[in-house]
Structures are given as structure tokens and as C-alpha cells.
Amino acid sequence: MDFASLVELFKARRSIRKWKSDPVPEELLTKAIEAAGWSPNSGGKQTYRVYAITSRATIDAIGRAVQEVTDYLASLDVDPADRPAVERWQKSSAFFTNAPALIAVSAGVYQSIADKLQARNIADPRVAAINRNRNIAASRIQTVGAFVDHLLLSLHVLGLGAVYMAGPTQAKEAIEKLLGTGQDEDIVALVPVGWPDEQPAAPPRKPLADLVTFIR
């Protein structure tokens, strides 16, 4: 593959939020998940788990759990200037249930040798500060990000449409209960998947100068 084709692929993938009702063959989900397994992962340990959900009942139950939290948050004190946006969010927060498939990704436990040392010595104030920074850059979460990015590109190449979603983790406990996840994992991303029923325009990207600093 030449570089221009790679950039073309990156530019052509879009977040898809509207799907046809046709089911997605499990074989395609498997293919995309397997391909995305080649993403970089902390310590080479692939400390994530993937839940590929095609059960209509489970997807709808996750949607209800997410909507319940949205409704609760929307019932709290709202800045009047934010009211229209809150109402839009309330109406659309379970939109992902329109997808025929939903992939949930959990972050498992990852402990590097440095993490182990920090855990043993956390009473030392300098270690505690080091550990706070380490948690901001948590490898287990970044590993899921890399996986989901590869997953989105794989699904796109297979003709499917998907969107990376962190928002629904507002109902994390309920989702984990519905999926029967283990004690040592945290659901951190949902990816609804289906055959695209929209062709959204690409949201603009910032100019490079706003993003990049060369330290020469």
C-alpha cells in the first residue's frame, strides 16, 4: 500500500450514526475484531476484552440503562444556555440501539514493572505524585483506544459503519451487569455497528500548525 492510499483510507472512514436494519454477519464482526487485534497494546499483553453483541434484547437493555442516566442528569440543575443542547442529547443518547450490532470493549488489568514498584511504595509522596501522572496516561485505557481505532478502520474496509462511543459508559455498572463482565475489567468503549444509512460530511480537521510543535 502506498502512503496516498493509506491517507485516503483514513479520510474516508467516518463516524456512522445511522444504520440500515439488515443484520451484520457474525463472520464480519469476527474478521474486524481479529484484524484489530494487531493494534499496539501495552506490554504486548492485549489487556482488553471484546463483547460482540447482536442480541436485540441486550442492545435495547443497554440503551435503556444509558437513557436512564441521561434522564437523571438532564433533571438536575441545567444552565439555561445549555437547555437546548441538553434536550437534543436527551433525545438522542440511546441512538446506538438502532444499530444491529454493538461491540463493547473493556480494559483489563495492566501492571508494568514500574507500576508494580509504584504500588509497593505508594506511601512515598513522590511515588504518589508519579503514580497520579501514570494514571492520567493509563496504558490499559490507551490500549483500548488503539484497538478501537484499528477496529473502526477494519469495519470501514468491510463496508460497515461504526462510531467510537465513550459517552454510554455513564451507565458502566448496568452495562457490565448486562454483559456479565469480570471483576478485573472496566467497560470503557461501545462501538455500534451496521450497514451505513448515511454519508456524513467529514468534520473539519485543525490545521497542522494548531496541533504540532516541532522541537528542533
Ligand X SMILES: Cc1cc2nc3c(=O)[nH]c(=O)nc-3n(C[C@H](O)[C@H](O)[C@H](O)COP(=O)(O)O)c2cc1C
Interface contacts to ligand X, rule CB under 6 A: 14-15, 17, 163-167, 203
Could you tell me which residues are beta bridge partners of residue 48?
107
Taking the least distance from each CB to ligand X, the nearer of 144 and 178 is 144
Q: Using the CB atoms, write b or e for 178-188: b if 16+ within 10 Å.
A: bbebeeebbbb
Q: Which residue is nearest to ligand X (CB)?
A: 167
Taking the least distance from each CB to ligand X, the nearer of 118 and 154 is 154
Dist. CA 34–CA 172, nearest whole Å: 25
Could you tell me which residues are beta bridge partners of residue 107?
48, 186
Residue 132 C-beta: closest distance to ligand X, Å = 21
Q: What are phi and psi of 210, to 5 degrees?
A: -80, -15
Taking the least distance from each CB to ligand X, the nearer of 17 and 33 is 17
Residue 176 C-beta: closest distance to ligand X, Å = 17
Residue 15 C-beta: closest distance to ligand X, Å = 4
CB 66 within 8 A of CB 109: no
Residue 92 C-beta: closest distance to ligand X, Å = 8
Q: What does the block give as the cell for 166?
A: 465513550
Residue 116 C-beta: closest distance to ligand X, Å = 28
* Helix, strand, or coil (residue 216): coil
Taking the least distance from each CB to ligand X, the nearer of 80 and 204 is 204
Dist. CA 162–CA 155, nearest whole Å: 7
Listed as own residue / partner, the contacts of 71-79 with beta carbons closer than 8 Å and 24 or more positions apart are 73/170
Residue with cell string 509504584: 118
Taking the least distance from each CB to ligand X, the nearer of 98 and 111 is 98
